[in-house]
Amino acid sequence: MTDANVVSIDSMTVRYGRNVAVDDVSLDVPRGTVYALLGRNGAGKSSLVRCLVGQQKPAHGRAILFGEDVWTRRAQLMERVGIVPEEADAPPEMTVHELSKFCGEIYSRWDHNAVRDRLSRFAIKPDARFGTLSKGQKKQVMLAMALAVSPELLVLDDPTLGLDVVARKSLFDEVISDLADRGTTTVITTHDLAGVEALADRVAILKDGRLVLDEPMEALKSRFRRIRFPYAAVALAAGNLRTASVTQWGGGTEAIVSNYDDVVFERFRSAANVTHADVSPMSLEEIFIAVAGEEVRS
């Protein structure tokens, strides 16, 4: 880990009885990065996030925030971290105002005005009881609270879960706005891949508890391509092109290549005498499905 990394996870394993939820995962989140941690349900994202913020002790390994072990220094480190949990955990009988007031007593720095402004933008009344709010409003309140400490690290654990399109957009807009203002390091787990695609600098994918991918968004998107050969069955392996999936249909072939390079592909096409080939970039969602979802396809 270097000082440039806000988050470092070192060989972390999380077990529940005999089940391994997170299996020997190591990763770093550089300062100012928006880090998207993706994975299917049960991939181990929430377990990893709970360990990341010191709420759970891993069976092995450790999480480092700002250079300090989060398990032993959680209380101090949480001054610098804003968290939006997967399930809104604020007491349901508290009003939004009481919640803000309580947090103001807990945190050494707390921006009541920022909370008020954001709640106003979200059209949430301060005297509304937390338990009476809609799911989207609860997430918005939690986000307002998380941002009120001007966090150096923002952890969003599936913040858009169960939200409608409008609420999702509103929430992401707020995050983007904050990022634009302060460049907060952000770790986000989500199933809303389209939403996070525009946000994330770096992407990691957990699959069955193991980290199968961890790289910058641009690099990821540049190396994944969908290639269609409409008239021929083509063996891409001969061209040093690694395929994430290959589908034969009619007389043609569709392949998803995970190490696409223009030069290499042109060399392959010449060598294989392939005249017709459609190469198209892939969205994050398509890449995710290719990497994490092949058992569904099979």
Per-residue H/E/C for 221-275: HHHCEEEEECCCCCCHHHHCCCEEEEEEECCEEEEEECCCCHHHHHHHHHHHCCC
Q: Is residue 227 packed enough to be buried (19+ CB in 10 Å), middle (13-18) or exposed (0-12)?
A: buried
Told to check if 161 binds another protein by CB under 8 A, we report: no
Residue with tokens 């096409």: 269
What's the closest the beta carbon of residue 11 comes to another protein, in angstroms?
19
> Among residue numbers 29 through 68, which ones bind another protein (CB under 8 A)?
50, 53-57
Our CB check for another protein shows the closer of 59 and 233 to be 59
Alpha-carbon distance 266 to 201, whole Å? 29
Residue 129 DSSP label: B
Considering the rule CB under 8 A, would residue 85 count as an interface residue with another protein?
yes
State the nearest-atom distance from the C-beta of 79 to another protein, in Å: 4
Give the nearer residue to another protein in terms of CB position, either 102 or 231. Answer: 102
Give the residue carrying structure tokens 């021929």: 232
- Least distance to another protein from the beta carbon of 23, Å? 18
The contacts found for 112-119 with CB under 8 angstroms, 24 or more apart, are: 112/148, 114/144, 114/147, 114/148, 114/150, 115/144, 115/145, 115/148, 118/143, 118/144, 118/147, 118/148, 118/174, 119/144
Q: How far apart are CA 35 and CA 216, in angstroms?
A: 9
Residue 280 as a binder of another protein (CB under 8 A): the answer is no
User: Which residue stretch of 32-40, 105-113, 173-181, 267-275 sits at the interface with another protein (rule: CB under 8 A)?
Assistant: 105-113
Asked if 89 is part of the footprint of another protein (rule: CB under 8 A), the reply reads: yes
Q: Pick between residue 16 and residue 296 the one whose CB is nearest to another protein.
A: 16
Question: Of residues 91, 131, 230, 251, which one binds another protein by CB under 8 A?
Answer: 91
Options 20, 94, 213, 246; binder of another protein; rule CB under 8 A: 94
Q: Among 10, 69, 98, 111, which residue interacts with another protein (rule: CB under 8 A)?
A: 98
Residues that bind another protein (CB under 8 A): 16-17, 50, 53-57, 74-79, 81, 83, 85, 87, 89-91, 93-94, 98, 102-103, 105-108
